Amino acid sequence: MGERLLSISNLHKIYFGGVHAVRGVSFDVMEGESVAIIGSSGSGKSTVLRCINRLIEPTKGEIKLRGEQINTPSSDINEVRSRIGMVFQSFELFAHLRVLENVSLGLRHVRKMSKDEAEQRSKDVLSRVDMIDKIEAYPGNLSGGQKQRVAIARALAMKPEVMLFDEPTSALDPELIGSVLETIRGLAEEGMTMVVVTHEINFARDVADRVIYLDKGEIAESGPSSIIEHPQTERMIKFLSSIND
């Protein structure tokens, strides 16, 4: 592993109404590391990711990227999001734009690349996720798995330092999940730094370098992916049993 890339320290998020979704979460992500965050619905997994990407603001805590705090009022949110790519559950593609345009849009408007440069990089990443033959298609003509791979390509095109995946297969039919997981597995093998919120326990066990188990907004257990096979806490044993039932 390389140097510390991402550092989360004493993260809290309290929503309106007093819901304390994240309670003092702290962890580091090393360069080239794949970290899986698992836990029951409502455990704070997605909230942590959205705080990292500044989609929501934490109530308390520090988020640092390469030692620089990125959750301050003076931080440039657009720059943060260009350095930290995020792939959502629901794809978030523009229905009126073709695949190539969906991927190249951010490059032209955020990176200020020329149309030719943006399209060439977009084709490169679409080829990387095996979607080069769909560059002229509209999202409405793609399967869920294909849409998700386009979303991954769009994030990769910005050349982020770390990729965040928020339950990337939860909106997919079972027969489409494999292709998306295989794409993410390939990124891990290439050394992409990733934080993946997932309910796919086998994927977390087989691909992640480290697993973080959240329960009621707190880190209940953290360690190498082998902790899925040999959990140390009663809470995680109960959680894994509920999935296997």
Q: For residue 2, is pLDDT > 80?
A: no
CA distances from 114 to 10, 106, 155 (A): 41, 11, 18
Q: Name the residue type at position 189.
A: E
- 91 SS3 class: coil
The overall average pLDDT reported for the chain is 92
Three-state SS at 53: coil
Res 245: pLDDT: 58
> Is the predicted pLDDT of residue 13 greater than 80, yes or no?
yes
Gap between the Cα atoms of 233 and 238, Å rounded: 9
- 119-169 confidence digits (pLDDT tens): 999 999 999 999 999 999 999 999 988 998 999 999 999 999 999 999 888
pLDDT at res. 91: 81
Q: Quick check: helix, strand or coil at residue 108?
A: helix
Domain boundaries, the chain: 4-244
Q: List the alpha helices (DSSP H) in the chain.
A: 45-52, 77-83, 99-109, 115-128, 144-157, 174-189, 201-207, 234-244
- Architecture of the domain made up of 4-244: 3-Layer(aba) Sandwich (3.40)
* pLDDT beyond 70 at 1: no
| pLDDT, tens digit, 9 for 90 and up, residues 200-244 | 898 898 889 999 999 999 999 999 999 999 998 999 999 998 886
115, two tokens? 């149309």
198: left (phi over 0), alpha (psi -120 to 50) or beta: beta
For 38-82, what is each residue's pLDDT tens digit?
999 899 999 999 999 999 999 999 999 999 999 998 999 888 888
> Residue 216, SS3?
coil
